[in-house]
Chains A and B, each alone.
Chain A
Amino acid sequence: MNHEDAAARRAAGWAKSVSQLKVSEVPEGAVNLNVEGRRLASPIQGFGKMWQKTYQVRLPAQRVSATELIATWKQRFPDFWPAGNRFYAPLTGIEPGEVALLNMALPGKMKLSTGVMVLYADEESFTLMTPQGHMFAGWITFSGLEVDGETVAQAQVLMRASDPIFELGLAMGGHKQEDRFWQHTLAALATHFGHEAEVESRVVCVDKRRQWSRWRNVWHSSAIRSTLYTMGTPGRALKRLFKRDRALA
């Protein structure tokens, strides 16, 4: 395959352009909140400082090739996450344009409902992009790379906190929690291939400035909306009960 053919094939890994996200099917147990109808948000639309965080783990290449690593990572993506967090993978798998719902554990036993869209996916990498209201505006690229007899599994986040509340949350332990999240994920991925290895982390502040013009992003905050949704659970249960009683009467 010549370079042009390879480039054309890889270009097919991009999702089609969408103005708003659409959740095709809601898996059992998932909460479809803060995703349907939302726009995607890149770091340009975010509020906080811009960060690039890179997490890597090295595996012996004879144990797994980069393409095998990515195939497994895509197929079993939720299995490597820390307990208490749910990634409801699309039924068709991690394919360009597919939307996945997320239920994340926050400090204080709070649950946050959000989602991601598969922005890009090929045999060597895949990228998840966040919608408006997610903790951060940006994307995470998962890749496999073969270097000097080793297969390097990498997760790289390019992000800004979406709004002032999330920015505060990141400064007050959120960044550390996120580091632990991806370190756990990569360690679990390595363990899957029978290898115990230390996860290397590199964090770079790409832009120290906050984009104050974006403070209104708080309107879409998945934290606020998830909290309101949780608080409204007893009310919704009562409403359903009254509705059932009225139907029986």
Chain B
Amino acid sequence: MPEAATTFEVREVTERARVIDIEGDITAQSEDVLMDAYGRASGEGVKAIVLNFTALDYMNSGGIGLLVTLLVRAQRQHQQVLAYGLSDHYRQIFELTRLDEAVGIHDSEAEALASAGGG
């Protein structure tokens, strides 16, 4: 399976929140880059990790598994995980896999940050 070009850029939006801009695919092969991005995002005092899916091309079940792992790591650090920019298709996937019960899903970055108390 060719590894697609995937980037995870971290933005510091407030003292308490970081946004990870996802571009490309999330599959099991993305583990190292995603966890590296989470490591960069998860500084001291960070209480919310916001995942920006606006430029997501594709995610398979391996990718969903990675998000579950990321969620566990964030919960260990007492951090919230939020998401925005999901297409209708991937919103349904979050519902199907019941990831939406642990990840707050929002329409925009502003909404996600407001929900995190960092807007």
Contact = CB atoms under 8 A, between A and B. Distances in A.
Nearest to B69: A206
Nearest to B58: A7
Interface residues of A, number: 38
Nearest to A126: B61
A84 B76 CA distance: 40
Given A119-B97, A125-B61, A17 B92 contact: yes
B14 interface: no
B32 interface: no
Interface in B43-85: 57-58, 60-62, 65, 68-69, 71-72, 76
A113 interface: no
B57 A13 contact: no
A11 B61 contact: no
Contacts of B99: 42, 44
A146 B2 CA distance: 10
Q: How large is the interface on B (under 10, 10 to 19, 20 to 34, 35 or more residues)?
A: 20 to 34
Nearest to B62: A141
A119 B102 contact: no
Contact of B57 (A3, A122, A125): A3
A127 B63 CA distance: 12
Contact of B61 (A52, A127, A206): A127
B114 interface: no
A25 B95 CA distance: 25
Given A7-B25, A206-B69, A17 B57 contact: no
A6 to B, nearest CB: 8
Contact of A120 (B60, B76, B101): B60
A153 interface: no
Contacts of B98: 39-42, 44-45
A50 interface: yes
B58 A120 contact: no
A10 B26 CA distance: 12
A246 interface: no
Interface in A115-141: 119-120, 122, 124-125, 127, 129, 139, 141
Contact of B1 (A17, A45, A124, A139): A124
B61 A40 contact: no
A3 B1 CA distance: 13
B61 A7 contact: no
A120 B98 CA distance: 15
A18 interface: yes
Closest 7 CB pairs of A and B: A7-B58, A127-B61, A17-B92, A120-B61, A7-B57, A207-B72, A17-B96
29 contacts: A7-B57, A10-B58, A13-B60, A15-B96, A17-B92, A18-B96, A40-B96, A41-B98, A42-B97, A42-B98, A44-B68, A45-B98, A45-B101, A50-B72, A52-B65, A119-B61, A119-B96, A120-B61, A122-B60, A124-B1, A125-B62, A139-B97, A141-B61, A143-B28, A156-B65, A158-B65, A158-B69, A206-B69, A207-B76
Interface of A: 3-4, 6-7, 10-11, 13-18, 39-45, 50, 52, 66, 119-120, 122, 124-125, 127, 129, 139, 141, 143, 145-146, 156, 158, 206-207
